[in-house]
A and B are shown apart, each in its own frame.
Chain A
Amino acid sequence: MLCNICGKNQATVHVTEIVNNQTTEMHLCEGCAKEKSIQMEQHFGLSDLLAGIADLGTPFGAKTQDELKLKCSNCGMSYEDFKKIGRLGCSVCYGAFRKNLVPLLKRIHGSTQHIGSTPAKSANETKKKSDAEELREKLQQAIQREEFEEAAKLRDKLKELEKKNEDKKKTKGEDKGKAK
């Protein structure tokens, strides 16, 4: 039998891997087996724990091959890379992997909205966001108090504000495009 990885050498090491009750058998040559075992040893530490959580985000977690292959246009990191390393490639990655990062950030921090300080330059943009955040907080409180009528009103307001923000972002983006 030939090695499953390189397909060149005779397989002498036989590995059975059980992940989530799924059994995978691997037949490897000595060289590939060694490499595999180094990979397994390296598989430890914060980045891996994190990578583990990154995968847990069902139903949001990257499940499909397409999502894993998703690449950051700025630095070239793929979501699969991030899952392996546990660190992002650049600031643009946050936007590129947004769909999968939101549940991850939520899991780590219990929140997905920054309310802390801002660098002097983007103070205006954040102001708009914090209005939305305020509404969101009020909405949560209303739900907790079981005042659902109030909650519905707040929800509509929030939706409106978010739409406004989105539109603004879009036009801003277009303006930027024109300026260039």
Chain B
Amino acid sequence: MRIDDLLNQLGEWLKGTGPNSDIVMSSRVRLARNLNKIPFSHWANKKDKEKVLVSIKAALLENEFLKNGISVSMKELDEIDRNFLLERHLVSHELIQKTDNKCALISSNEAVSGMINEEDHLRLQVMQSGFNLRDAFEIVEGIDKFLATRLDFAFSPEWGYLTACPTNAGTGIRSSVMLHLPTLVLTKQINKILEAITRLGLTARGFYGEGTQATGNFFQISNQVTLGQKEEDIIDNIERLIKQVVEYEQNARQMLIGQERQRISDRIWRAYGVLKNAYIISSIETIDLLSSVRLGVDLGIIKDISRQQLNTLFVFIQPAHLQKLEGKKLTSQERDVKRAQLIRSKLTCA
């Protein structure tokens, strides 16, 4: 399978299915693993990194999820392809920088991705559509067990899996969900909720990952503590909290639709109108409008597009995706035109 094949398919996490998929876009669980005694990626020399690459790649390629997928060396990819994978959440920022001996293995349905020579020797992630941390964890745990029989992971009974950054030590697990919370933002309750979440040991980020602002009312919430808790408890803890946040958003939506139906309908249809008719549009404006339209679909106000189509648009309106579709590099202005064209074609067909 090649990277270009991804253009014609929909990643597992974009399906718009699964529990609570009106509010929870996707769930992700990732593990950080290192090989015993070999220096961590940032401290390793070329030989060490090569050794890591060869042994981990061989083990991953034996796994049923990854053997028929994509295996790419970051160095061999051009900038657009690297960012294309980043935009699909299949690789991390860290992986596409300083690309020597860095490699990604991706399952054909885009649910599983193994990143070699990331901050840790291996970052293994599983993504699922909707509120589905359990399934994601089950899959990642299975692959981890499979790998442990083939690789000598750095592990101490006292501190668990040893990672380059002590913030990941222990279970090395980071579980996160991508939430769409437009009404909590609209009713200005979001800050209180984010504050509470942080106090309970979770962190919130934007749609486009680490260090990004929450755009389009999307929030990625993940656990912070990795040591001193069992994997199941970490998942359980975040699940419970997210369930509550989902409930808050549901209640706010009910209230809004009951009390402000006209106003919210107006906002949703206007957003739909602009998206359907614009000829030049920036990504920030697009994301904001798509967020309103998604709410419209969730509330049953807009009926002629699916959540899946919208999820796909959220990904395809990003710079590298547009350039990949066009087959060449585009300037920012050219992208704004191409983006509007893409959205018009997707929404009018609908």
B residues 171-197 in Cβ contact with A at 8 Å: 171, 173
CA distance A101 to B227 in the complex (A): 13
Q: Which of A74, A88, A126 contacts B157 (CB 8 A)?
A: A126
The reply to whether B166 and A114 form a contact with Cβ atoms under 8 Å apart is no
Residues from chain B with Cβ under 8 Å of A104 in the complex:
166
How many residues of A are counted as interface, with CB atoms below 8 angstroms from the partner's CB atoms?
38
Residues from chain B with Cβ under 8 Å of A89 in the complex:
39-40, 43
Enumerate 7 A-B pairs (CB-CB under 8 Å) in ascending A order.
A50-B165, A74-B37, A87-B164, A95-B156, A105-B166, A120-B149, A129-B157
B residues 142-161 in Cβ contact with A at 8 Å: 144-145, 148-149, 152-161
Max count, chain B CB within 10 A of own CB: residue among A46, A92, A114, A120: A114
CA distance A110 to B226 in the complex (A): 10
Of B109-117, B228-236, B311-319, the one with at least 4 CB within 8 A of chain A? B228-236
A residues 96-140 in Cβ contact with B at 8 Å: 101, 104-105, 108-122, 125-126, 128-129
CB distance from A70 to the nearest CB of B (A): 16
State whether the Cβ of B308 lies closer than 8 Å to any Cβ in chain A: no
State whether the Cβ of B162 lies closer than 8 Å to any Cβ in chain A: yes
The reply to whether A119 and B153 form a contact with Cβ atoms under 8 Å apart is yes
B residues 259-311 in Cβ contact with A at 8 Å: none
Residues from chain A with Cβ under 8 Å of B229 in the complex:
111, 115-116
Residues from chain B with Cβ under 8 Å of A88 in the complex:
40, 43, 162, 164-166
The reply to whether A109 and B227 form a contact with Cβ atoms under 8 Å apart is yes
Please classify the interface of chain B as helix (H, G, I), strand (E, B), loop, or mixed, using the class held by over half of its residues: loop
CB distance from A124 to the nearest CB of B (A): 9
Q: Which of A87, A111, A115 contacts B165 (CB 8 A)?
A: A87
Q: Which of B43, B148, B228 contacts A75 (CB 8 A)?
A: B43
CA distance A87 to B119 in the complex (A): 9
CA distance A125 to B160 in the complex (A): 12
Residues from chain A with Cβ under 8 Å of B119 in the complex:
87
CB distance from B175 to the nearest CB of A (A): 12
Residues from chain B with Cβ under 8 Å of A101 in the complex:
166
Residues from chain B with Cβ under 8 Å of A121 in the complex:
148, 152
CA distance A85 to B165 in the complex (A): 10
The reply to whether A117 and B231 form a contact with Cβ atoms under 8 Å apart is yes
Residues from chain A with Cβ under 8 Å of B158 in the complex:
112-114, 129
Residues from chain A with Cβ under 8 Å of B154 in the complex:
90-91
CA distance A110 to B74 in the complex (A): 37
The reply to whether A116 and B160 form a contact with Cβ atoms under 8 Å apart is yes
The reply to whether B37 and A91 form a contact with Cβ atoms under 8 Å apart is yes
State whether the Cβ of B55 lies closer than 8 Å to any Cβ in chain A: no
The reply to whether B231 and A94 form a contact with Cβ atoms under 8 Å apart is no
Interface string of B211-240 (1 = CB under 8 A from A): 000000000000001111111000000000
Residues from chain B with Cβ under 8 Å of A11 in the complex:
none
How many residues of B are counted as interface, with CB atoms below 8 angstroms from the partner's CB atoms?
40
CA distance A103 to B198 in the complex (A): 22
The reply to whether B156 and A94 form a contact with Cβ atoms under 8 Å apart is yes
CA distance A50 to B165 in the complex (A): 9
CA distance A11 to B162 in the complex (A): 46
Residues from chain A with Cβ under 8 Å of B226 in the complex:
109
Q: Which 6 A-B pairs have the closest CB atoms?
A: A111-B228, A114-B160, A91-B154, A109-B227, A119-B148, A116-B171
The reply to whether A109 and B228 form a contact with Cβ atoms under 8 Å apart is yes
The reply to whether A91 and B170 form a contact with Cβ atoms under 8 Å apart is no
Max count, chain A CB within 10 A of own CB: residue among B148, B158, B170: B158
Residues from chain B with Cβ under 8 Å of A117 in the complex:
141, 144, 171, 230-231
Interface string of A30-53 (1 = CB under 8 A from B): 000000000000000011001000
The reply to whether A115 and B155 form a contact with Cβ atoms under 8 Å apart is no
State whether the Cβ of A77 lies closer than 8 Å to any Cβ in chain B: yes
State whether the Cβ of B139 lies closer than 8 Å to any Cβ in chain A: no
The reply to whether B155 and A119 form a contact with Cβ atoms under 8 Å apart is yes
If A94-B159, A111-B227, A114-B160 are given as contacts, then 11 extra A-B residue pairs at C-beta distance below 8 Å, sorted by A number, are A46-B165, A88-B166, A90-B43, A91-B162, A94-B169, A109-B225, A109-B228, A111-B228, A120-B148, A122-B157, A125-B157
> Are A87 and B227 also in contact (CB < 8 A) when A94-B156, A117-B141, A120-B149 are?
no
Residues from chain A with Cβ under 8 Å of B171 in the complex:
114, 116-117
- Chain A residue at minimum C-beta to C-beta distance from B156: A94
Max count, chain B CB within 10 A of own CB: residue among A74, A94, A95, A104: A94
CB distance from B219 to the nearest CB of A (A): 20
Max count, chain A CB within 10 A of own CB: residue among B157, B165, B173: B157
CB distance from B269 to the nearest CB of A (A): 43
- Chain A residue at minimum C-beta to C-beta distance from B148: A119
The reply to whether A91 and B36 form a contact with Cβ atoms under 8 Å apart is yes
The reply to whether B228 and A110 form a contact with Cβ atoms under 8 Å apart is yes
